[in-house]
Amino acid sequence: MWRFLVTDPILVEIVEGTLASVEMEVETAIARTARSPMIRDAHDFRAGIHDVRLRKLTGRSYSALVQPVVRDFPIETMKPGDVYFHNDVYLSEGGIGHLPDLCVTVPVFHDGEVVAFVQAFGHHDDIGGSVPGSMPSHARSVFEEGLMVPPIKLWDEGVPNEAALRIMTRNSRMPDSLAGDLDAECSACLMGARRLAELFERYGREAVEECFDAIIDKTSETFRRELLAKIPEGTYVWEDYAEHDGVDEPRLHAQRITLSVDHAADTPLTIDFTGTSPQAKGPINHAGDYADGVFLKKWLAPVLRNLADTPERMAELDVNEGVVPLIKMVFPEKGTLLTPVFPAPTNARTFVILRLLGVLAGVLAKATGGRMPADQETIRYTGVYGADADGQPYLMREVLGGGSGGRWYADGEDTIHVVPDSRNIPVEFAEARWPFRVERLGLACDSGGPGMFRGGLGYDKHIRMLRDASYMSIADRSILSCWGVNGGLAGRPFRVEIAGKEMDGLVDDYPVQAGELIRIRTTGGGGWGSPYDRDPRAVAADVRDGKVSIAGALGDYGVVLDGDRIDEQATAELRARLRPRADRFFDRGPGYAKLSGGRAHAEVDEL
């Protein structure tokens, strides 16, 4: 066995690279062997590596937590070949947000002792409940959402628990794909555990664990020195909203952050969620107030990377357990959107945890004079289900992306997906498997928020049904828009039309007849900076590319086009008339006035 000094930076690089390689190998194995479109094709799953102290070591993706497993199964009782499973939201210590997210955990052994964990969790097609896909948009209780499984031992020393597997597949409308996915995830994590064991065997436990400490400490120091130092000390408040919960009429469900910054403190950032709205009757709640909010700390920390000096530096920064000591979280009393009381439903909790990313970005924008991107909303579930020509049930559910927000240095990205490496379902695969045609898959013109740097565009997708089916949707931002910042304007909201009729964002079973067209337009990101400061040549290029219409160029940007030519004098005169006397720092779009009683902006929008 080789011996290295912990100060040896080469060994730290080797261990760090090995961890990233193993994590990617686990994800690749799952993607190649899983059976469901959601896992195999849409890639809505994550792997993670944690040490024996339950700290997340890798930073290329987020992951669930090991805490609920070791809470119920002490480490000293674990054996090689054991695989643990859970999906119970309220018994996951905040690591699982809704029941379709199934989590597999495998301990890593060296010299007969647990030294680390390999974990995978992902969104599966169906785990029971009242509607196909296990995401009933009008649920009032978690009991309507599917099968709840607290932490259990799914494999015992390499032997699968067939009884547990049979119970889970029996409760699923897609038993074969569920069984295949679980087998893929268990096998991939066991493979990853073997790879990690080889690392410990090669370098020894003491040296490897010292490298783990160095990796985490490096993240803490980098975030404190490069990122947090750019936030002026003080206290800042902002909030944003989910617009509906599937039960009550649409209204503003607030998620508020009060950010306190003290660079001299051991924990320089305090994120206080006091002021967040009461828990909803419908399924938009997120059980985040467990394990001191450790999941939310790692979930929100990537927003801080926008404070990096350059986009290239931002891409280099991983988010591992090193961010946890830098953030203190203060939760309100039980009974809010972030502190729901069992059995409150949670299947649409993305409305809350995705909104929190934007709330943190918004409050940081206030603190830093706008040096944060505008808003984005890049996850929503749309799909159809029914019976195919052979009479067999099918479920097509897709997580379509949307446009990201404009940034202080560049336009937003078009049709991105917030889940790392996730993607839409290939048209060729979809048409070969399900009874519909995709007649268009392109960019939604004018969907990006106007700005000096334009918001990214959403999808425009047209689906022609070949057989009668039912349409489903779990989507927010169908009334409210992705906000613009620093004078930028809001993007266009989510919109679905079926045979010309506009749908709500939350739909379980709208009937679609054979031959009817489903048109889906996903959200555009908010704009950054005044649209009247955008280079007219960039506007003209957007018009040529079909990203902005001629009417949008004129009305949103004040650019007068004569064919491909810019009328510079007319443009200057029009912009002078259109430019407001004082641009609003935040623009929430027209939907906010509909839900706020006519107000154009919130009190917290004032600087």
Report the pLDDT averaged over residues 387-409.
Answer: 94
Report the pLDDT averaged over residues 508-517.
Answer: 97
First to last CA, the chain: 60
SS3 83: strand
Q: Give φ, ψ of 163 to 5 degrees.
A: -65, -45
Beta strand pairing call for 152-156 and 83-86: antiparallel
At 60, is the pLDDT very low, low, confident or very high (cuts 50, 70, 90)?
confident
User: Residues 189-209: pLDDT tens digits?
Assistant: 999 999 999 999 999 999 999
Positive or negative, the CA dihedral 347, 351, 354, 355 is: negative
Q: How many CB atoms sit inside 10 A of residue 228's CB?
A: 18
User: Residues 475-494: pLDDT tens digits?
Assistant: 999 999 999 999 999 999 99
| Average pLDDT score, the chain | 95
User: Residues 41-55: pLDDT tens digits?
Assistant: 888 999 999 999 999
Kindly tell me if the per-residue pLDDT of 6 is higher than 70.
no
Q: What is the pLDDT of residue 379?
A: 80
Q: What is the pLDDT of residue 7?
A: 64
Q: What is the pLDDT of residue 161?
A: 97
DSSP state of 119: E
Positive or negative, the CA dihedral 515, 471, 458, 414 is: negative
Report the pLDDT averaged over residues 141-166.
Answer: 97
At 331, is the pLDDT very low, low, confident or very high (cuts 50, 70, 90)?
very high
Query: What are the angstrom distances between the C-alpha of 160 and each of 2, 104, 167, 319?
Result: 36, 13, 13, 33
Kindly tell me if the per-residue pLDDT of 584 is higher than 70.
yes
| The residue count for the chain | 607
Kindly tell me if the per-residue pLDDT of 316 is higher than 50.
yes
DSSP state of 322: G
Q: What is the pLDDT of residue 583?
A: 67
Rounded to an integer, what distance in angstroms lies between the CA atom of residue 133 and that of residue 118?
Answer: 27
Residue among 163, 131, 164 nearest 150 (CA): 164
pLDDT over 90 percentage in the chain = 91
**Of the given ranges (340-349, 443-452, 458-467, 570-579), which has the lowest mean pLDDT?**
570-579
Question: In the 3-class helix/strand/coil scheme, how is 208-258 assigned residue by residue?
Answer: HHHHHHHHHHHHHHHHHHHHHHHCCCEEEEEEEEECCCCCCCCCCEEEEEE
Q: What is the pLDDT of residue 1?
A: 44
Kindly tell me if the per-residue pLDDT of 594 is higher than 80.
yes
pTM: 0.95
Beta strand pairing call for 459-465 and 436-443: antiparallel
pLDDT over 70 percentage in the chain = 98
At 579, is the pLDDT very low, low, confident or very high (cuts 50, 70, 90)?
confident
At 582, is the pLDDT very low, low, confident or very high (cuts 50, 70, 90)?
low
User: Residues 282-296: pLDDT tens digits?
Assistant: 999 999 999 999 999
